[in-house]
Amino acid sequence: MEYCDGGTIDQVSREGLTEDRIRVYTKELLTAVQMLHDNDIVHRDIKGTNIYLTSSGCLKLGHLTCAVKLKSQTTNEMDKLVGTIAYMAPEVITQTCKEKHIRASDIWSVGCVIIEMATGKPPWHDLGNSFQIMFRVGTGETPPTPENLCDAGKDFLSHCLEQEPDKRWTASQLKDHPFAKVFSKCETTDEESDDDCDDVDDDYYDYNDDQDVEAQAEVKSETPEKGESDQEDERFFGGKTNPAAFQRLVKDLRNMKKDAHKFGIEGTPRGDNLFIWDVKLTGFPADTALGKDIRNWAEKHKREPVVYLEMQFPDEYPMAPPFVRVTRPRFKFFSGHVTIGGSICMETLTKSGWTPTNDLQSILAEIRSEIMGDPNMRLDSNPDREYGEAEARDAFNRMVNRYDWNK
């Protein structure tokens, strides 16, 4: 690859790009990405700093450090978190990327580069925190669409940033979109071979199909340097530092958002702490004694007619179970698996009964079912008195020891 003295896309974007120039660069980038994909290579780290410009203004997609050659016999090529977080597709963050989706992850990154060109800043620049970006993208959010893009540009971007990789357009389809239908002086024909017009780093042609995948798949995530940003990350982690737990929780939350409401469950992290969730159990029948108790309590104290839960996830999650407790309303002593301290005491939530494959949504549905199904389940005479965490843990530990569930 020759010396590209025109800078990088991230540099020229900061100086400001016209929409015409954005469209030209988009077309050239798609040509490079299509060339890779047609040769069964996925870049996996497309971003402004990895896209170079020659002195004549032609675009070069370089830096193939994270690239992989797709092989039908290889199943673990996407097992690691590879790339740069702000440009990373949802299926990469949640580790649900199948081989047929791998190319689509590059297309998400292309959309992020368009945002970068239109705004002069990387996507999610206002967060400045890798784990908050993972949380947003992993739970179904997309980067904001720049208002200065034309309607065709916004439509083009929507096809790049489609949450479902199966529905995301390919590089070939995107090249036929009106936004990319522009003339580029760097376009080549079959007869042309001017080096200045190659869209991919020349290192591409030296790519060794037999290279060890692990060597190619080193994590290149750009996380903040030590200092104040590290403290922000720790706050978002809830003071914990286990990326595996973080990824699993993002997947759990994504599943919860999708259809948990069908089972009378609503749950969200508390503020920016993914390791503590506030959960609501809803839909208690009005014709039952418990349902009447809950509605009377809610009307009297101006609350929702729900049961409020708190879930605390350990750093070892999902290898260790969450601690689940009721916060309000207060129940009569030990009914429906609610202890005197408000903790939920079920073997499933102990070392004895927990398995890492347990489905969080199913567990919450089971808790709701146990509470609703106990005919003796009633609220305390002072139901608005909130349970404390200390009393909940004490009661939980007593029950675990009684039934020998601590193995």
Preceding amide of 321 cis, omega within 30: no
As given in the structure block, the two tokens for residue 138 are 């992993």
- 267, 311 contact by CB (below 8 A): yes
Q: Pick from 361, 319, 326, 362: which is nearest to 345 by CA?
A: 326
Q: Residue 176 catalytic?
A: no
Q: Pick from 223, 235, 175, 215: which is nearest to 199 by CA?
A: 175
- 242, 316 contact by CB (below 8 A): yes
Helix (H) or strand (E) holding 10: helix 9-15
Amino acid occupying residue 127: L
Query: How would DSSP label each residue in 197-246?
Result: G--B-GGGGG--TTS-HHHHT------PPTTHHHHHHHHHTTT---HHHH
- 337: helix, strand or coil: coil
Report CA-CA distances (Å) from 406 to 129, 214, 316, 399: 37, 39, 16, 10
Distance of CA 107 to the CA centre of its chain: 16
As given in the structure block, the two tokens for residue 305 are 């007619």
Preceding amide of 329 cis, omega within 30: yes
Instruction: Give me the catalytic one of 10, 45, 199, 293.
Output: 45
Please name the residues in contact with 114: beta carbons below 8 A apart, sequence gap of 6 or more: 22, 26, 149, 153, 156, 157, 160
Q: CA-to-CA distance for 382 and 344, rounded, in angstroms? A: 20
Q: CA-to-CA distance for 29 and 50, rounded, in angstroms? A: 11
Q: Pick from 163, 161, 165: which is nearest to 144 by CA?
A: 161
Catalytic residues: 45
